Amino acid sequence: MSASDVPLLEARGISRHFGTVSALTDVNLVVRPGEVVGLVGDNGAGKSTLLKILCGAVQPSSGELFIDGEPVRFHSPKDSRALGIEVVYQDLALATELSVAENVFLGRERKRDGFLGRLGMLDRRRMASEAATTLESLAIEIHSVQARCGLLSGGQRQAVAVARAIMWGSKVLFLDEATAALAVMEAEKIGALVTEVAKRDVGVLLVSHNMPQVHELCDRIIVLLRGRVVAELKRGEASVQDIVMWITGAAAARG
């Protein structure tokens, strides 16, 4: 296997049990550079549990995780972030009272050089410049990085959260129902942003109930049903109706 064929993220045989309940059973998943992978399933299918395991918030009962072909064990989301995994949730985890630039650098603020930096003074001009450059490179339209996030539209806030993930060198970006609360036009803009992110060789794992968008954006679609992978569909192999049938179990029943 060449270096270019090595997955950014791979899960092998992941299972998770809560007492006698099996939330996941022997799940395999691969995300490669520049690939958009959809993770779909009905409520209770195991999507949230798998996502939490992949980012270190929950430990698997069995199975292995690999980053760039190397085995890893995450004890917390901090471990996964250190290896290039970023998650954008529906609630975004943005500080609405802070500016766009402040949110992009939240927890990673730039300090001023020299004595002033040692006193803890922030280099706000540099942060604003770098944030503006990142947003511009992703074609994100926000009138000013000094704008307060709470005054932005839902789609713009979602875009800021994605830009923050890309700003910090994400290898793999998880989008957890990122367009669920957005209007159609804003959801389309986030879809275009996902495509742009993938062009940078970032792997994207898209968790969504928006089947038309999943069908349009994803190179592969992983379908979970009662904690098991029941289908892995490549682009063009299935219609939206086919995907829904796999999610509901009708496709498997049909044989």
21-31, strands of its sheet edge to edge: 21-31, 9-18, 62-67, 70-72
- What is the C-alpha to C-alpha distance for residues 32 and 141, in angstroms, rounded to an integer? 28
pLDDT at 253: 62
Residue-level pLDDT at 88: 86
Q: What tokens appear for 200 in the block?
A: 């940078």
- The CA–CA distances, whole Å, from 157 to 93, 100, 161, 169, 189 equal 10, 9, 6, 19, 12
SS3 22: strand
Instruction: Classify 72 as helix, strand or coil.
Output: strand
Tell me what pLDDT residue 140 has. Answer: 87
pLDDT in tens, 137-166: 888 888 899 999 989 888 888 888 888 888
Q: What is the pTM of this model?
A: 0.87
* Distance between CA atoms of residues 119 and 217, nearest Å: 47
User: What pLDDT score does 2 carry?
Assistant: 44
Residues 214 and 174: their CA atoms lie apart, in Å, by: 14
Residues near 194 by beta carbon (within 8 Å), at least 6 away in sequence: 36, 162, 175, 204, 206, 217
* Segment 73-95, tens digit of pLDDT: 999 999 999 999 988 887 666 88
Averages of pLDDT over runs of 10 residues in the chain (255 residues) are 74 95 96 96 93 94 96 94 87 82 87 84 90 89 91 87 81 87 82 90 93 94 96 92 92 64
Q: Which CATH class is domain 3-254?
A: alpha beta
Cβ neighbours of 200 (radius 10 Å)? 13
Domain coordinates of the chain in residue numbers? 3-254
